[in-house]
């Protein structure tokens, strides 16, 4: 069985998988003794994702379909079109002095040029770092300081429902905040908004690319970084997850057939954003490595214009595999509970719906299964891993799924659930979810210029294992059930946020003495951040005004993506006698879970007052109707 082969003889399993990739220097060993995958081998990821399909005679096959619900437009690019665009964009980037090993930050909306820019960096061996457009200037500045890029690629604006988001002022503000100077900013002017360019530093994309020379693919070491992707850590400092070229290409290409059952020519739609790992892996690299057509969708699942847009896009392009976050399905279901907008749509091409990014509640899976009539598969992974670690592998003939579980380990991953002392727990017992080392190819080898942070964050907690930061259990049949985080990371609409990071921002408000941020259950977004804030003594600002200021502060400092809307003003925070804030008790109250008075509680009256304040603020929110109630 392939599961066993991959775990017991991972060397031959992964060496066999290298055959799907073109190499300049083929690997002679998979992991070997070096501890790095495919050390000594050389390749180019862009060649594998683009050029080789043209060389193989598939130049006229569709590589990319851009479907924008925001501008009501569709553009299609063949592999040959993509090759030409990527080669000249690589020339434009190179002309800015960016070469092998240099970093370029891409801060762009969901437009084809963003994908092209990523591939163009890969083409010349530059390391891209894409920053999600919903992050504010301060967050962009942190990433600029860490990655020290020579170049920032951006667009004049992003398009959100009801508003045009000007990106360039955010880039300007980030560059003013950052300590690291950046030589050039290349700006794609979208018709919806013209950005002002700073002479000498800023360049117009269209002009620059028109004057650029087409660049060939350069050979890079399999162990050279392809990209850095920042993700939330437990503090406000983002962690720069490094992805190497060789392991990434091999693993991602393999997942397309093994997990998704997709082959060259299939239409693959990952409805995410290129700023997240799902976008990197399954909008850009994996579908193109496998010769599929990838769909780049600019819009939301609801409201652009309605909850039927997902079905329309599937029908319009003949999508075979859809990948989205459970939040998107919850949003569609909330707007159109009986899926009436599906009526009359021909979505017969769809073979499966994959969900990831947050816990998929069984109700959401049941609703999607009932209406789509295809396998609905929950699968689990993280930015750090780069590809799914738990899944039902359709391509390997696996069909068994279990509600409440994200699946069994994907070949190459060996899971364990450990107690605090690092002992492996029996089936059914809840503990830390860990993965036995070595991690398979494509997973992070380190954090960008922070090897000690990498060890501290992931390897030190359980020697011999990678600590996922999630808690859960493995059942008798080997299904892994992911239940919660063990740290203060929360998951908002599939976006990973640090409550500690939000607390750090709130604490900068001059009128705040203390604060605690919890992730409260939300029927749409899974979780939302809720702050309990204590004003300094003698502050006379009204609670509502203060709350509004705090909401605006988080939006300004972290960005709208934090979805921070609830700041509850209280006179004191509930604490243990040793002074620890009782965040998990507050979270249970906000979620409507039973929460007896904690035994170590310092002051029961404060506790009761905070419980009341949460209730007054509408927590817990009313439970949404179940599927059976809705149908009734």
Q: Annotate each residue in 266-305 with x if it binds ligand AMP (CB under 6 A) or - if it does not, as one string.
A: -----------x----------------------------
Selection from 378, 382, 380 nearest residue 352 by Cα: 378
- Interaction between residue 493 and ligand AMP (CB under 6 A): no
Task: Kindly determine how many residues on this chain lie close enough to bind ligand AMP according to the rule CB under 6 A.
Answer: 20
| Residues in contact with ligand AMP, shown as a per-residue x/- string from 220 to 259 under the rule CB under 6 A | -----------x----------------------------
For residue 10, state whether it binds ligand AMP (rule: CB under 6 A).
Answer: no
Rounded to whole angstroms, how far apart are CA atoms 622 and 603? 29
For the chain, how many residues are written?
632
Q: Which of 239, 485, 583, 588 binds ligand AMP (CB under 6 A)?
A: 485
CB of 57 to ligand COA, least distance (A): 34
Q: Residue 620 binds which one of ligand COA, ligand AMP, none, with CB within 5 to 8 A depending on kind?
A: none
Of 294, 292, 324, 289, nearest in space to 309 by CA? 324
Q: In degrees, to the nearest 5, what angle opens at C-alpha 338 toward C-alphas 334 and 342?
A: 100
Tell me how far CA of residue 356 lies from CA of 243, 472, 483, 493, in angstroms. 20, 16, 14, 11
Among 257, 293, 294, 383, binds ligand AMP (CB under 6 A): 383
Applying the rule CB under 6 A, the residues between 406 and 425 that interact with ligand AMP are 406
Scanning 43-166, the segments in alpha helix (DSSP H) are: 45-46, 52-53, 79-95, 112-123, 137-147
Our CB check for ligand COA shows the closer of 357 and 386 to be 357
Residue where the block lists tokens 């592998």: 393
From residue 261, alpha-carbon distances to 287, 291, 394, 399, 479 in Å are 12, 13, 5, 12, 20
Please spell the DSSP secondary structure of 223-278, one letter per residue: TSEEEEEEE--SSSSPEEEEEEHHHHHHHHHHHHHHTT---TT-EEEE-S-TTSHH
Residue ranges that bind ligand COA, judged by CB under 6 A: 109, 133-134, 158, 160, 165, 272-273, 276, 278, 300-302, 325, 327-328, 331, 357, 493-494, 524, 560-561, 563
CB of 380 to ligand AMP, least distance (A): 4
CB atoms within 10 A of CB 160: 16
Of 244 and 378, CB closest to ligand AMP: 378
Distance separating alpha carbons of residues 100 and 163, to the nearest angstrom: 38
**Residue whose CB is less far from ligand AMP, 220 or 277:** 277
Minimum CB–partner distance for residue 449 and ligand COA (Å): 26
CA distances 383 to 139, 275, 434, 468, 495, Å, are 17, 11, 15, 11, 11
Minimum CB–partner distance for residue 151 and ligand COA (Å): 20
Phi, psi of 30 (to 5 degrees): -85, -85
Distance CA 64, CA 294 (A): 5
Q: Could you tell me the smallest distance in angstroms from the CB atom of residue 243 to ligand COA?
A: 17
Q: Does 310 bind ligand AMP (CB under 6 A)?
A: no
Nearer CB in complex with ligand AMP: 87/406: 406
Instruction: Find the binder of ligand AMP among 51, 139, 298, 378 (CB under 6 A).
Output: 378
| 195 interface partner picked from ligand AMP, ligand COA, none, CB below 5 to 8 A per type | none
Q: Which does 185 bind (CB under 5 to 8 A by kind): ligand COA, ligand AMP, none?
A: none
Element holding 176 (H helix, E strand)? helix 168-177
Which C-beta is closer to ligand COA: that of 368 or that of 573? 368
Of ligand COA, ligand AMP, none, which one sits near residue 302, judging by CB under 5 to 8 A according to partner kind? ligand COA
Residues 6 or more apart in contact with residue 41 via CB below 8 angstroms: 18, 23, 25, 26, 27, 28, 221, 222, 246
- Our CB check for ligand AMP shows the closer of 130 and 309 to be 130
Compare residues 171 and 360 and give the one whose CB is closer to ligand AMP: 360
Whether the CB-CB separation of 79 and 63 falls below 8 Å is answered with yes
Q: Which of 267, 319, 482, 531 binds ligand AMP (CB under 6 A)?
A: 482
Residues from 326 through 365 that contact ligand AMP (CB under 6 A): 356-360
Q: Report the alpha-carbon distance of residue 476 to residue 21 in Å, rounded.
A: 37
The yes or no reply on residue 382 touching ligand AMP (CB under 6 A) is yes
Cα separation, 272 vs 205, in Å, equals 25
469 binds ligand AMP (CB under 6 A): yes
- CA angle 311–315–316, rounded 5-degree value: 115
Using the minimum distance from each CB to ligand COA, give the nearer residue, 164 or 627: 164
Residues that bind ligand AMP (CB under 6 A): 231, 277, 356-360, 378-380, 382-383, 406, 468-470, 482, 485, 491, 496
């Amino acid at each position: 069985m392939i599961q066993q082969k991959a775990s017991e003889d991972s060397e031959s399993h992964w060496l066999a998988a290298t055959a799907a990739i073109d190499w300049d220097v083929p690997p002679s060993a998979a992991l070997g003794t070096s501890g790095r995958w495919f050390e000594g081998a050389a390749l180019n990821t862009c060649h594998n994702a683009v050029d080789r399909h043209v060389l193989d005679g598939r130049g006229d096959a569709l590589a990319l379909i851009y479907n924008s619900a925001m501008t009501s437009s569709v553009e299609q690019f063949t592999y040959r079109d993509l090759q030409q665009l990527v080669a000249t964009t690589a020339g434009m980037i190179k002309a800015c002095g960016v070469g092998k090993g240099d970093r370029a930050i891409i801060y762009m909306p969901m437009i084809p040029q963003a994908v092209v820019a990523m591939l163009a960096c890969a083409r010349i061996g530059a390391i891209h770092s894409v920053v999600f457009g919903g992050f504010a200037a301060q967050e962009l500045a942190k990433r600029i300081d860490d990655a020290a890029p020579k170049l920032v690629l951006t667009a004049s604006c992003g398009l959100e429902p009801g508003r045009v988001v000007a990106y360039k002022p955010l880039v300007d503000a980030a560059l003013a905040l950052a300590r690291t100077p950046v030589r050039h900013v290349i700006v794609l002017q979208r018709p919806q908004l013209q950005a002002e360019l700073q002479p000498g530093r800023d360049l117009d994309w269209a002009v620059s690319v028109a004057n650029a020379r087409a660049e060939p693919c350069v050979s890079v070491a399999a162990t050279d970084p392809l990209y850095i992707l920042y993700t939330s850590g437990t503090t406000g400092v983002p962690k720069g997850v490094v992805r190497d070229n060789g392991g990434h290409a091999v693993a991602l290409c393999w997942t397309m057939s093994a997990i998704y059952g997709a082959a060259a020519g299939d239409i693959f739609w990952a409805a995410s954003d290129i700023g997240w790992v799902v976008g990197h892996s399954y909008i850009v690299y994996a579908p193109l490595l496998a010769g599929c057509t990838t769909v780049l969708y600019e819009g939301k699942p609801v409201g652009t214009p309605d909850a039927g847009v997902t079905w329309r896009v599937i029908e319009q392009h003949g999508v075979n595999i859809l990948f989205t976050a459970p939040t998107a399905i919850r949003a569609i279901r909330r707007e159109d509970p009986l899926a009436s907008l599906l009526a009359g749509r021909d979505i017969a091409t769809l073979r499966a719906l994959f969900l990831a990014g947050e816990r998929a509640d069984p109700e959401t899976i049941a609703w999607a299964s009932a209406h789509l009539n295809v396998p609905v598969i929950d699968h689990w992974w993280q930015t750090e891993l780069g590809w799914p670690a738990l899944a039902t592998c359709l391509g390997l003939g696996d069909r068994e799924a279990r509600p409440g579980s994200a699946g069994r380990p994907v070949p190459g991953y060996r899971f364990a659930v450990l107690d605090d002392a690092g002992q492996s727990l029996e089936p059914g017992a809840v503990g830390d979810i860990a993965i036995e080392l070595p991690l398979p190819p494509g997973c992070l080898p380190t954090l960008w210029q922070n090897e000690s942070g990498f060890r501290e964050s992931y390897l030190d907690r359980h020697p011999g294992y990678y600590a996922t930061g999630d808690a859960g259990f493995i059942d008798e049949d080997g299904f892994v059930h992911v239940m919660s985080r063990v740290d203060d990371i929360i998951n908002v609409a599939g976006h990973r946020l640090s409550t500690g990071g939000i607390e750090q921002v709130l604490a900068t408000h001059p009128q705040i003495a203390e604060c605690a941020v919890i992730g409260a259950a939300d029927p749409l977004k899974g979780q939302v951040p809720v702050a309990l804030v204590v004003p300094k003594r003698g502050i006379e600002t009204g609670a509502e005004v203060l709350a509004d200021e705090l909401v605006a502060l988080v939006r300004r400092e972290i960005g709208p993506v934090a979805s921070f809307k609830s700041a509850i003003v209280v006179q004191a925070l509930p604490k243990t006698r040793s002074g620890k804030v009782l965040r998990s008790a507050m979270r249970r109250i906000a979620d409507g879970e039973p929460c007896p008075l904690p035994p170590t509680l310092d002051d029961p009256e404060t506790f009761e007052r905070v419980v009341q304040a949460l209730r007054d603020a509408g927590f817990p929110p009313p439970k949404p109707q179940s599927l059976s109630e809705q149908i009734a």
